Amino acid sequence: MEDWFEFEGYRIPVRLCLLTGGGPETFEAISNAHLHNINAACGLSAGLHALEIGCGIGRDAIPLTEVLGSEGLYIGTDVIADSIRWCSENISPRHPNFEFIHQDIRDDLHNPDGSIDVHTVRLPTPDNWADLIILQSVFTHMLRDTVSHYLREFARVLRPNGLVYATVFLVDEEILVSARATNLTQWNLRFDHLAADGVYINDPDHPTGAVAYREDVLAALVANAGLEFVGPMRRGSWSGAHHVVFDGQDVLVLRRRDR
């Protein structure tokens, strides 16, 4: 018998929740924090076209059904087929304007037998479609070439005034010292290993388990994709290095440079 828990009128399988990050006991709190922070950084309103990459089991999608309303559109993608199947069978029947798409991308963590190389992925929307692109803890599992590819895709699918909300790990020497001393997360995020200049990984045996970027390296990738920052890079609490924090992870808000 499968274990379930209740969230906003949905019975969510615990096994799929655990693949999203966190467990049933933190699901609602994380969902509330995500929506609060996205709204604070980007603004949420009815009628938006939203694309979420790494939508998981609908932790953000479920509350977004109320925010975007029947006039909005939402597309969620994930590499985990079971999560997409659950969302399609449970969320979409209640909210037909919410669509969930499995992208069978090869991913060492969650989909090692995937049929699609990540560097060839096209996001499943037309050009100039998205008002908002959401990535919660997705770039934290991507190396530089993959981040660069996705940023170029964002430039293609964003509307002129559209925004990207993406969480990342940003590091410098001070942040690394603090993270290693405080160890505030359950993943022992030390980032002792270099994957490339300014790109740090936690475990060389599983490079995409956790990936961090020096700010100038990430800024160059953003610029090369034809994007720019909206406001400062917002700092997270994960490293213990910052007195004022916005989220658990660091947050980027981006837009097209030619808006």
Question: What confidence score (pLDDT) does residue 111 get?
Answer: 87
What's the pLDDT band for 259 if we cut at 50, 70, 90?
low
SS3 of 67, please?
helix
pLDDT exceeds 70 at position 112: yes
Mean of the pLDDT values across residues 17-32?
A: 92
First-to-final CA distance of the chain: 52
Question: What confidence score (pLDDT) does residue 110 get?
Answer: 83
Q: Percent of the chain, pLDDT > 90?
A: 90
pLDDT in tens, 34-57: 999 999 999 999 999 999 999 999
pLDDT in tens, 186-240: 899 999 999 999 999 999 999 999 999 999 999 999 999 999 999 999 999 999 9
Q: How is domain 4-169+215-256 classified at the CATH fold level? A: Rossmann fold (3.40.50)
pLDDT exceeds 80 at position 1: no
Burial 166-193 (b: 16+ CB within 10 A, else e): bbbbbbeeebbebbeeeeeeeeebbbee
What's the pLDDT band for 22 if we cut at 50, 70, 90?
confident
Question: What confidence score (pLDDT) does residue 87 get?
Answer: 98
Mean of the pLDDT values across residues 231-258?
A: 95
User: What does pLDDT average to over the chain?
Assistant: 95
